[in-house]
Amino acid sequence: MIHQLTLSDVLAEHARSRPGVTAVVDGELRLTYPELDARVTRLAGALAARGVTAGERVLWLGRNDHAVLELLLASSRLGAILCPANWRQSAEELSFVLSDLAPKVVVWEESEVAAPLSGEDWILAGAGYEAFLAGGSPDAVPDGFADGADDADDADDTAPVLALYTAAFDGRPNAALLSSAALVAHSTSLLVVRQMEPGFTFLNSGPLFHVGTMMFCLATLQIGGTNVFTPAFDAEEVCRLVDAEKVTQAFLFGQMIDAVVKANEGGKYDLTSLRFVSHSAEWDAMTSVDDSPWCRSKMGGYGQTEVAGMLTFLGLAPGASGFAGRPSPLVQVRILAPDGDEVPAGEVGEICARGKSLFSGYFNRPELNEAKSRGGWHHTGDLGRREADGTITFIGPRLRMIKSGNENIYPAEVERVLKTHPAVADAAVIGVPDERWRQAVKAVVVLRDGADASAEELVEHVRGGLASYKKPRQVDFVAAIPKKGFTPDYDALDAAHGGGGYPGT
């Protein structure tokens, strides 16, 4: 027990160490850490009364809300698992999540969830949630500090506590399970790279069902800072909250930042408490520069839900050649060939990882989990390369591999080079059956409006940037590449352009 530190334990310590610190701001609601701890205790009691025991799931369907953090902490207290799901999914998609996760309790926002798939144990967010919480016994589930004689009932910090659904890379969404130990480790890596300190105030302005916002929410909890919740991104409201709460960081990027700049034209709100990466002259003038490694050069790195957020940080590789930076101090990264061997620096392989912030597999997917963790390494499904200076370059999703002769060819690598040709607007690469080499590379290319390039020219362009065996032998020109989300729909491409013969099929 001595080495345990669950999310609930983090809260229990803050309730003692930071009695006067505001933990949560959400609309009119302000909670100090002891007040948050007391509410979580009641909530855990209420959930326990509904049969939420260790390993059971609780589902949140709604916009951002302090209830998400409270439900997560109460789940931690019980050894249960909270899933904040994307509430804007179709009825069919929500139906899949419900049957996949089989949650014991669902808390949902009536105004947001279209065609609710109601159930007996559904609780309405807002007043319904408050009544549910108020009905919980404050004595049912103590805060992890028992009377010294017996702590055997404390939650295990390696047990999953958070479930986040990830992209449907195998045809259906999968819920990545993250333990307290992994979340605490990841938060600590963010504390290091973002140089977060007590007093850190984070505005949860991105969706909490996504790891990008959740990871900062949890790091803010870890350092005993203040989490400010807003239902969803609204530029004017972001300005108001940053000013009122002296927010130090928010989940903002690209067009969101532009919208905030526009909303604050004339400087109505004071945003100087916000420490952020440089963006535009107007933005830089109204905020403060963040000189932590997180923002010093370029923000970010490479990550995914399955590693609790970030696996590598650009901030740990200033001036480096790789596009993803260096690994977090709490993980190892290996670039592996399909046979499990490490590929030499400069060669492309699958980004694989091991370490303290890794997930615990997907909920209820034993076969997928075995495949993704083969050899004791998590296989991210993404391609990368170790550069000569040791930094990592992220290439793109692996998706599938083409086998030509004895060589492994990843479509993403060839696509990247094709897209650097000035005439190419978009490109996808597939494998077509080949009698001699098993498969040959075929490029499907969209040319820019008014641009022109021959197949031979494009093949030559690839040959100039990659090993010769990776060059396409055929090029099909099309008006558009079919997509699944942001990535090419390879099944549709195979059907339309004669693809097939992939290894393992």
Residues 212-231 that bind its own copies (CB under 8 A): 222-224
Taking CB under 8 A as the criterion, the residue among 389, 407, 457, 460 binding its own copies is 389
Residue 5 in the binding site for its own copies (CB under 8 A):
yes
- As a whole number of angstroms, the distance between CA 145 and CA 245 comes to 32
Reported as type and span, the H/E element at residue 264 is none
Residue 411 in the binding site for its own copies (CB under 8 A):
no
Dihedral, 388, 394, 398, 399 alpha carbons, nearest 10: -170
Residue 327 in the binding site for its own copies (CB under 8 A):
yes
Taking CB under 8 A as the criterion, the residue among 151, 347, 457, 460 binding its own copies is 151
Which residue number, 124 or 176, has a Cβ lying nearer to its own copies? 176
- As a whole number of angstroms, the distance between CA 219 and CA 234 comes to 23
Backbone angles phi, psi at 108, to 5 degrees: -140, 150
Q: Provide, rounded to whole angstroms, the least separation between the CB of residue 11 and its own copies.
A: 10
Taking CB under 8 A as the criterion, the residue among 120, 147, 449, 452 binding its own copies is 147
Which residue number, 62 or 361, has a Cβ lying nearer to its own copies? 361
Q: Provide, rounded to whole angstroms, the least separation between the CB of residue 166 and its own copies.
A: 17
Residue 386 in the binding site for its own copies (CB under 8 A):
yes
Residue 279 in the binding site for its own copies (CB under 8 A):
no
Residue 310 in the binding site for its own copies (CB under 8 A):
no
Which residue number, 51 or 344, has a Cβ lying nearer to its own copies? 344
- As a whole number of angstroms, the distance between CA 271 and CA 287 comes to 5
Residue 295 in the binding site for its own copies (CB under 8 A):
no
Residue 138 in the binding site for its own copies (CB under 8 A):
no
Residue 154 in the binding site for its own copies (CB under 8 A):
yes
Contact 388, 347 (CB under 8 A): no
- Stretch of 193-201, 247-255, 421-429, 491-499 lying at the interface with its own copies (CB under 8 A): 193-201
Residue 336 in the binding site for its own copies (CB under 8 A):
yes
Total residues interacting with its own copies, rule: CB under 8 A = 72
Which residue number, 216 or 283, has a Cβ lying nearer to its own copies? 216
Which residue number, 213 or 369, has a Cβ lying nearer to its own copies? 369
Residues 431-450 that bind its own copies (CB under 8 A): none
Residue 480 in the binding site for its own copies (CB under 8 A):
no
Q: How far is CA 292 from CA 41, 310, 326, in A?
A: 36, 16, 16
Other beta carbons less than 10 A from residue 91's beta carbon: 12
Other beta carbons less than 10 A from residue 495's beta carbon: 12
State the maximum Cα–Cα separation within the chain, in Å, rounded to a whole number: 78
Residue 331 in the binding site for its own copies (CB under 8 A):
yes
Reported as type and span, the H/E element at residue 158 is none
Contacts of 253 (CB under 8 A, 6+ apart): none
Which residue number, 10 or 417, has a Cβ lying nearer to its own copies? 10
Q: How far is CA 448 from CA 355, 453, 456, 494, in A?
A: 44, 10, 17, 23
- Stretch of 17-25, 440-448, 476-484, 488-496 lying at the interface with its own copies (CB under 8 A): 17-25
- As a whole number of angstroms, the distance between CA 411 and CA 302 comes to 19
Which residue number, 52 or 72, has a Cβ lying nearer to its own copies? 72
Residues 160-189 that bind its own copies (CB under 8 A): 181-182, 184, 187-189
DSSP string for 430-497:
EEEEETTTEEEEEEEEEEPTT----HHHHHHHHHHHS-GGGS-SEEEE-S---EETTEE-HHHHHHHH
Residue 240 in the binding site for its own copies (CB under 8 A):
no
Residue 390 in the binding site for its own copies (CB under 8 A):
yes
Residue 115 in the binding site for its own copies (CB under 8 A):
no
Which residue number, 93 or 387, has a Cβ lying nearer to its own copies? 387
Q: Is 364 helix (H, G, I), strand (E, B) or coil?
A: coil
Q: Which of 246, 238, 223 is nearest to 33 (CA)?
A: 223
Q: Provide, rounded to whole angstroms, the least separation between the CB of residue 376 and its own copies.
A: 3
Please name the amino acid found at residue 154. D
Residue 141 in the binding site for its own copies (CB under 8 A):
no
Taking CB under 8 A as the criterion, the residue among 50, 356, 438, 497 binding its own copies is 356
